[in-house]
Chain A
């Protein structure tokens, strides 16, 4: 508990009574315990080499001289020589006490003889001193003091006087005459010379004053302070106190503390030292006072003294020791709470780096020890009860970590405490520091894992820590870099991969999942999880080759290991994903036009998940791929097999259409049509398929089958609702006409339908116009075939009716037809009238008419025929006028020919060819 400056060398204080109770019992270093031990200080020792003979032989010879000589001076000289040899030779020559006492008793006689004879030629002060010593040695203290007083009285300037006075004062002190002792010591102090003894004189004067009672204590304190001033003149001197003076200084401190303890404590000390901080060693006194109180069980007062000094001199180098002493005091007092507070005070007082640096090494050690104790204590408290304990513990751990050479464990504990306190951000930093910024920490991997756990728990809302998946990933990356062989890494990476997957960040998900497989120690469960993540990633990014690889590996793990939480349903799901990956490869190949590969993939699906829906779809799409690649024959085979294998599957319903396409595109229209007809009953309405079939029959030249469908269709009432439907029906009629299937019937339908329709096309108009023309020609032939016979009126009526029918058809041609047919229609209409006129003129004349009547009858016929001829000329002339609108046609030419006959004056023109005949040459 003592200050280190004095080295704690003085374990126990030596009672001052030791100096006073025995004569010459003073601490004079090598002067010995008592005056008897002392050697004459005047005895000079010549540093000459020892004689060649042994010291024992020299002693024996001097002893024989001392014993045999009758001369006092010789004997005293021999005695001095003996003492000198003993001092120089040390252990070589040892005198027994009885021998010494006998020698000095005999010497006293010699001294007396010398003094009485007055013939002594040496120094009497020295002789008196030797006599005093001899008296003291043989136990004659009074005689000794008497000789010393004689010396001081007779020879006041003798260099032996200071010692003589000291020994006189000592005798007074030993005799309890403290006033005299104070006086004698004072004389020595105030006299000249004897400096070597003055310090001890001050010290003993202080004791003499102390022994006189409380009233004299201020004087005693001054004496003691003087001693300290002498012994400790500057701060560095504390370290240089000689071993012989340590006890002196220590006792001085002790007695001052004793007095202060009974004089009001620290205040008295301060007063005695002339004020606060007036003495650089004041801390030693306060320390000693605090010690005194503590040893006396006055703990509160001890602590007060310590704290008072700390408050007064907080920056003093000893302040830390005072703080530590408070801890010790409370420990001594058994006050554990106060001990803890004192420890905390110590730690807080030197918490800053600046303050900490002022501490000595031992105190820095102490600071760390206390910090750890406090931290551990509060951590334990935190585990027992809620509250701020963990937070306090963390603060101590964190402070300690900065001053610990290998702070890894401390930082991890700080992290744990922060974690328990809910200070997750700080906890994270502590764990990181322990894990990554601490050299040689054996459990760094655990600290690093704790940091990761904070992120994971935060992400999962198990703790109130706001973090991001990116942060967790960064933490995991750091973990992986620092602890590449950590067995927990693979599980972590698998977890993070799946988390990124949920965020649809496929690049990160892939990175972590792939890192799982880089760990040879990854468990089957972890690898399975990673493969699942990779499967999802590659599926999402469209890399179905890699997706297949991932799903296949996942499936393999399922089959090879018993994986946690993986049941039959999940196993099936994995197989399904694998099948999808294969299927999608087919889709990709199909889109890129690599049909062969696409078909292979589609067909491969069945081997992954036989009988599954996706396998069936794979078969179906294999056929589709063949269709897209226009590999018609292969597609036809695949489609037929699919329909055979899965007749009830819903996809089979589309097979027929695909077959129709394949047959059609492979130039098998009749087979396509047959496929359509064969499945037309399955779909409603069936006519579209039948009509498509009819078209295909048409393309394939199966006209009979085509016409059958057409006839069936046209026999049913179908009112067209669009131009397309109208054209379609007209096309059927036209084709039937062309196939000579009831041609006139369908010509009539063509004409009537076209005339009634709101929709037309150039084809339907042409077809219907031609149909009308054909019907018109047929009617014209009927008309021409009717002979005008008697009775004329009847035949003429029939002929006119036929004419009207034909005329109507030709009018329909004009209404429907294109320019080319109009000319023919006009011509034929004109010819109807011309023929009628001609037939009228040539009609049979009744036989019963006479010549006159015959002539009149013929004139009447001419009159009847003339309007028809005019009508014929008019219509032919209209036909001729069509030249102004277009090209010359054969029907215009025919009309011109007729006009040339009917109206030659206007239309009968012969062009004139020219000929040339070479005239004979005159020269010939």
Chain B
């Protein structure tokens, strides 16, 4: 059976497609391209949906949705950041948190000293 977060990803993608249809007449070539690549709208929808799940205490679903978003859009730093926070505080998965903080750091436009501090703390706790 497909995991719930996967279902959510599908729903989010479909909703995004429906939203696009309002602005632009769909054509065959455009539709094909949308399925293969994720738009920024999709990433935003995934991220915010994951945070909504987090607010409901559904941490594992939120993390799964974020991971799916990262698979589709691995270069989006917010996705890594939020996944790192949820992994650290709510899933107690410090290793995963450290990985995604680092990835966030790498993708971020500017240096985030606060995050760097957290990474140092994590590295210390993981030693």
Judge: A and B partners, yes or no: yes
* Contact indicator A909/B85 (Cβ below 8 Å): yes
| Given A905-B117, A905-B118, A905-B121: A914 touches B48 (CB 8 Å cut-off) | yes
* Contact indicator B85/A914 (Cβ below 8 Å): no
Q: Which one of A32-40, A87-95, A881-889 is at the B interface?
A: A881-889
A906 within 8 A of B: yes
| Assembled-state Cα–Cα distance A910/B89 (Å) | 11
Q: Looking at A888, A910, A914, which has the most chain B CB atoms within 10 Å of its CB?
A: A914
A45 within 8 A of B: no
* Contact indicator B54/A911 (Cβ below 8 Å): yes
Per-residue CB contact flags for chain B residues 79-120 toward chain A (1 = under 8 Å, else 0) read 001100110111110000000000000000000000001100
| Assembled-state Cα–Cα distance A918/B39 (Å) | 11
| Given A883-B90, A883-B92, A884-B92: A916 touches B40 (CB 8 Å cut-off) | yes
* Contact indicator B59/A911 (Cβ below 8 Å): no
* Contact indicator B44/A916 (Cβ below 8 Å): yes
Q: Which residues of A contact B121 (CB under 8 A)?
A: 905-906
* Contact indicator A913/B51 (Cβ below 8 Å): yes
A915 within 8 A of B: yes
B65 within 8 A of A: no
Residue of A nearest to B97 (CB): A909
Size range of the interface on B?
A: 20 to 34
| Assembled-state Cα–Cα distance A488/B51 (Å) | 111
**How close is B29's CB to chain A, nearest CB, in angstroms?**
17
**How close is A32's CB to chain B, nearest CB, in angstroms?**
160
A326 within 8 A of B: no
Q: Which residues of A contact B44 (CB under 8 A)?
A: 914-916
A896 within 8 A of B: yes
Q: Looking at A883, A887, A915, A916, which has the most chain B CB atoms within 10 Å of its CB?
A: A916
Residue of A nearest to B84 (CB): A909
B43 within 8 A of A: yes
A561 within 8 A of B: no
* Contact indicator A914/B92 (Cβ below 8 Å): no
Q: Which residues of B contact A896 (CB under 8 A)?
A: 89
* Contact indicator B57/A888 (Cβ below 8 Å): yes
Size range of the interface on A?
A: 20 to 34
Per-residue CB contact flags for chain B residues 42-81 toward chain A (1 = under 8 Å, else 0) read 0110011001001001010000000000000000001001
| Assembled-state Cα–Cα distance A905/B114 (Å) | 8
Per-residue CB contact flags for chain B residues 4-31 toward chain A (1 = under 8 Å, else 0) read 0000000000000000000100000000
A912 within 8 A of B: yes
| Assembled-state Cα–Cα distance A914/B78 (Å) | 8
**How close is B106's CB to chain A, nearest CB, in angstroms?**
16
Q: Which residues of A contact B59 (CB under 8 A)?
A: 888
| Assembled-state Cα–Cα distance A888/B59 (Å) | 9
Q: Which residues of B contact A918 (CB under 8 A)?
A: 23
Q: Which residues of B contact A916 (CB under 8 A)?
A: 40-41, 44
**How close is A265's CB to chain B, nearest CB, in angstroms?**
141
| Assembled-state Cα–Cα distance A469/B114 (Å) | 115
* Contact indicator A914/B90 (Cβ below 8 Å): no
Q: Looking at A906, A909, A910, which has the most chain B CB atoms within 10 Å of its CB?
A: A909
* Contact indicator B118/A913 (Cβ below 8 Å): no
Residue of B nearest to A889 (CB): B57
Considering the complex, which residues of chain A in the window 869-924 have a beta carbon less than 8 Å from any beta carbon of chain B?
880-881, 883-884, 887-888, 893, 896, 905-907, 909-916, 918
* Contact indicator B89/A913 (Cβ below 8 Å): no
| Given A888-B59, A905-B117: A911 touches B92 (CB 8 Å cut-off) | no
Residue of A nearest to B47 (CB): A914
**How close is B6's CB to chain A, nearest CB, in angstroms?**
21
* Contact indicator A911/B82 (Cβ below 8 Å): yes
Of B78, B81, B89, B91, the residue contacting A907 (CB under 8 A) is: B89
| Given A881-B92, A888-B57, A905-B118: A913 touches B47 (CB 8 Å cut-off) | yes
* Contact indicator B88/A909 (Cβ below 8 Å): yes
| Assembled-state Cα–Cα distance A88/B5 (Å) | 170
Residue of B nearest to A896 (CB): B89
| Assembled-state Cα–Cα distance A93/B40 (Å) | 190
Q: Which residues of B contact A905 (CB under 8 A)?
A: 117-118, 121
Residue of B nearest to A884 (CB): B92
Q: Which residues of B contact A906 (CB under 8 A)?
A: 118, 121
| Assembled-state Cα–Cα distance A881/B92 (Å) | 8
* Contact indicator A912/B82 (Cβ below 8 Å): yes
Residue of A nearest to B83 (CB): A911
| Assembled-state Cα–Cα distance A311/B86 (Å) | 146
**How close is B98's CB to chain A, nearest CB, in angstroms?**
13
Residue of A nearest to B59 (CB): A888
| Assembled-state Cα–Cα distance A103/B48 (Å) | 198
| Assembled-state Cα–Cα distance A881/B82 (Å) | 20
| Assembled-state Cα–Cα distance A911/B41 (Å) | 18
**How close is A827's CB to chain B, nearest CB, in angstroms?**
16
**How close is B59's CB to chain A, nearest CB, in angstroms?**
7
Q: Which residues of A contact B81 (CB under 8 A)?
A: 911-912
Of B41, B85, B90, the residue contacting A888 (CB under 8 A) is: B90
| Assembled-state Cα–Cα distance A916/B76 (Å) | 13
| Given A888-B57, A905-B117, A906-B121: A912 touches B89 (CB 8 Å cut-off) | no
Q: Which residues of A contact B57 (CB under 8 A)?
A: 887-888, 893
Considering the complex, which residues of chain A in the window 567-611 have a beta carbon less than 8 Å from any beta carbon of chain B?
none
18 A-B contacts (beta carbon < 8 Å): A881-B92, A883-B90, A909-B89, A911-B51, A911-B54, A911-B81, A911-B82, A911-B85, A911-B86, A912-B47, A912-B78, A912-B81, A912-B82, A913-B51, A914-B44, A914-B47, A915-B44, A916-B40
Interface on B for A, CB 8 Å cutoff? 23, 40-41, 43-44, 47-48, 51, 54, 57, 59, 78, 81-82, 85-86, 88-92, 117-118, 121
Apart from A888-B59, A911-B51, 9 more pairs, CB < 8 Å: A884-B92, A887-B57, A896-B89, A909-B85, A909-B118, A911-B82, A911-B86, A913-B47, A914-B48
Of all A-B residue pairs in the complex, the 4 with the closest CB atoms, nearest first, are: A916-B44, A888-B57, A914-B44, A909-B85
